Structure 1
Amino acid sequence: MGNMATEIVAFLLTISGWILVSSTLPTDYWKVSSVDGTVITTATFWSNLWKTCVTDSTGVSNCKDFPSMLALDAYIQVCRGLMIASVCLGFFGAIFALVGMKCTKIGGSETTKARLTVLSGFQFILSGLCCMTACSIYAHRITTDFFDPLFVAQKFELGAALFIGWAGSVLAEYSYSGAASFVTARNNHSKTANGLHKEPGAPSRQFGRNAYV
């Protein structure tokens, strides 16, 4: 029961991480900047992987989608690819984890379930690494421009989406160590069960000291 409860908690944590990672992809505020003035002229500029927008003090937003994927900056294209890969890996990892859980009735034998658990663990950790890499690349670009004294264009700061993505990555990667511990526990349990339940009449492999004397 202890291993099963740990398995369920790990599954819920990794699913929560995958949900956070998935919600990061369409989130608006990847980078944000404000222009303060009077109440009328205050505006907030923000961008994500798909568009750039400005929101005035009345809450009205004017957005412009990025016109062409081929004309985008390289770091945005890389972040898009990594985030999409992260969502896909987490989706299939969640399916394999659900099938491989000991408390489910599908997936076949214990050996098959253990292999599915390991596979889901690798997929979750890859999903978390993809998301963490994408958010880190985007954040590095923001901070590089912000602290560059020669950069004369508008400077941005880190948006909320980046912190959500980092948090989701940490939760998604939790399943890697969990999967390893579950497989170890199952294998030990199987070996113990096989040792205790021998077939009647099976020859014993333990011999006395003077067996051949």
Structure 2
Amino acid sequence: MSTALESTGFLLGVASWLIIGAALGNDYWKVSSVSGGVIISNRQYENLWHSCAEGSTGVAECRDFDSLLALPGHVQASRALMIIALLLGLVSMIISLLGLKCIKIGSATEETKGKITVTGGILFILAGLCVMVCCSWYGYRVVQDFNNPLFGGVRFELGTGLFMGWGGATLAILGGALLSCACKRAKSNKPKAGYYAAGQPKTIYSQAKSEPEARAYV
């Protein structure tokens, strides 16, 4: 059962990494709103890297953001969190693959492999939390600007990239939680050093004390 859980968690982690990467490259993190009585002939949309405008003919023109330091703070933080999440996910996949119960590598014990798998699961959870914070913060700013009556710019709505990010973050956290079930393997099943497993429990001290007495009677 643990093998199935760990394999499922690893596959969910790989799928989450792919979805997070696709979300980072998606152009539609926020899309211009079409609500209201005014009919617009073009559509605007943005992501973390550039903004685009699409005309009625379907031709889109994109412009990269000129300066990193001139960007709003939430955009800079979102870039950093998404890149950190992808790096954590990559490391998590490598570590989790080495620790899976169905993978045999050298003479590693089950306890050691269990600890490796748990480490990979924790990294997957951290990656999912980074993406969750990024998408939630970015989405909050979009909703805040949309509902602000004093905002004079273009009103945007939540785009596809945010929902992909939320989905990838959920899969990463779920996969990490399943991989963390290997903590049972990480616990040592060896008996304590001061006791014997067979027969009645005796301490090493009591056995060592009884041996000279036995020799004396002989």
Shorter chain as denominator, the TM-score bin is: 0.7 to 0.9
List per-residue Cα deviations over 1:95-119 (Å, max 9, x = no partner).
1010100101227221221111111
Root-mean-square deviation (CA, aligned residues, Å) is 2.2
C-alpha separation in 2, matches of 1:203 and 1:72: 65
Higher relative contact order (CA 8 A, sep 6+): 2
List per-residue Cα deviations over 1:70-89 (Å, max 9, x = no partner).
11111110000000000000
TM-score, structure 1 as length reference? 0.84
Query: What is the identity, as a one-letter code, of the residue corresponding to 1:19?
Result: L
- The yes-or-no answer on 1:206 pairing with 2:206 is no
- Relative to structure 1, the CA distance from residue 205 to residue 31 in structure 2 (aligned partners, 3 Å threshold; closer, same or farther) is same
Count of residues in correspondence between the two structures: 195
- Which range moved further: 174-183 or 55-64? 174-183
Question: How many percent of aligned residue pairs carry the same amino acid?
Answer: 42
Contact 2:20 2:165 in 1 (8 A): yes
Note the 1:1-213 alignment, pairs <5 A: 2-34=1-33, 37=39, 42-106=41-105, 108-184=108-184, 186=185, 191=189, 204=198, 206=200
C-alpha separation in 1, matches of 2:13 and 2:50: 29
Shift of 1:51: 0.2
Provide structure 1 residue ranges, at least 5 long, that are not aligned to the other structure: 196-201, 209-213
- Relative to structure 1, the CA distance from residue 103 to residue 207 in structure 2 (aligned partners, 3 Å threshold; closer, same or farther) is closer
Contact 1:139 1:162 in 2 (8 A): yes
TM-score, structure 2 as length reference? 0.82
List per-residue Cα deviations over 1:6-64 (Å, max 9, x = no partner).
22111111211111111111110000015663xxx621100000000001122111111
Contact 1:33 1:155 in 2 (8 A): yes
C-alpha separation in 2, matches of 1:156 and 1:134: 17
